[in-house]
Structure 1
């Protein structure tokens, strides 16, 4: 498909939304974006409409475009989908795990335990989960998991990490990895399910407090 003047605008705004650089609820002023890119409002509007289709931007009458805010219900539903996708990926991955996989995951968890910043926990948590599922060999399933993480975006991933803290996830990561090393597929998948569901409950409580 040929590129258009909207493409770089779409790429830039999308990346900023997903990274959390532009927060949920923030206005996206078309005149300012057009000036920054040196274009008319037409490609800006096209880019924002494409982002609207992806549920990243909303248009409101007399207000214009804003970064979409996920409701509590939507966030918890995304975590529900995590349970289904990631448990299946782990189930497929365990039989294919090799010694170097366990060594690398152990090293990551050791580094993880030394981190103090929420952003670092969030990034290393995502990396650990990716390493758990990578041996599954199902590229479509892995792409769906990555897409879900992208839909959550950095802002929501940080919210999840803040709600969960460090101690409980770290303890559960260790137990899941131990079960994987023992080739205990049922035990590891069961613990992963509980792990994500515990996160879901913590996030729900966190959101109810109005944070």
Structure 2
């Protein structure tokens, strides 16, 4: 009996850094923790009712994902990316999501399609940039989930979609949500037709267009 209890405690201890990481990642991506926010280990340990060890591990994982950086005399801070770094991540998204969607579409059932449509309906009703970013993130993850590849999904989630907090802020000023949302519905329609090649191409073009508009918006800001 004592062995079982020890295993359970060990399992919970191993899961704690992941729970802390997931919550902090969500808050960073939705803008609740904006760029430049310090992430003090003592304060986080108190907040999550944990020791500094799982907090330190969670911050290390977020650093690996490019969401957090360590600065001398400041500790961990929510990172601010420049346009070149964002474009590099968008290139990764093009490769990863295109591959994932090709694999996902043949496996999509009615429940998957209904989930995608439900997310887009919420997107239609959303009226804030953080909400658009969160629903966009959910749509792209749900789109790739039927590929049934956990490692691929993790790569997409951790290294690709962390661009959303930047791209949606700038894109909302350039195009609003109507253009990207129209792309989403075209992608959904291709999924309904079980056309994986078309859905993948539309996803790739969607991200490429985001990249082009992001660079153009940045250039206009610099020139202005």
* TM band (smaller chain): 0.7 to 0.9
Query: Paired residue for 1:182, among 193, 197, 218?
Result: 193
1:156 and 2:166 matched: yes
CA distance 1:76–1:108, shift in 2 (3 Å): same
Q: Is the 8 A contact 1:82 1:196 kept in 2?
A: yes
1:170 and 2:181 matched: yes
Residues 19-60 of structure 1: CA deviation (Å, up to 9, x unaligned): 53443245x497xx658868xxxx79x949947953522425
1:11 CA displacement = 5.7
Give me the whole-angstrom Cα distance separating, in 2, the residues matched to 1:104 and 1:82: 21
State the number of aligned residues.
196
Q: RMSD of aligned C-alpha atoms?
A: 3.5
TM-score, reference length from structure 1 = 0.73
Give me the whole-angstrom Cα distance separating, in 2, the residues matched to 1:179 and 1:166: 20
SS for the counterpart of 2:194 is coil
Give me the whole-angstrom Cα distance separating, in 1, the residues matched to 2:62 and 2:150: 27
Structure 1 unaligned spans of 5+: none
1:79 aligned partner: 90
Which stretch shows the higher mean deviation, 110-119 or 77-86?
A: 110-119
1:197 and 2:224 matched: no
Q: Is the 8 A contact 1:122 1:161 kept in 2?
A: no
Q: Is the 8 A contact 1:160 1:199 kept in 2?
A: no
Structure 2 unaligned spans of 5+: 1-9, 47-51
TM-score, reference length from structure 2 = 0.70
Query: Paired residue for 2:141, among 130, 141, 150?
Result: 130
CA distance 1:113–1:68, shift in 2 (3 Å): closer
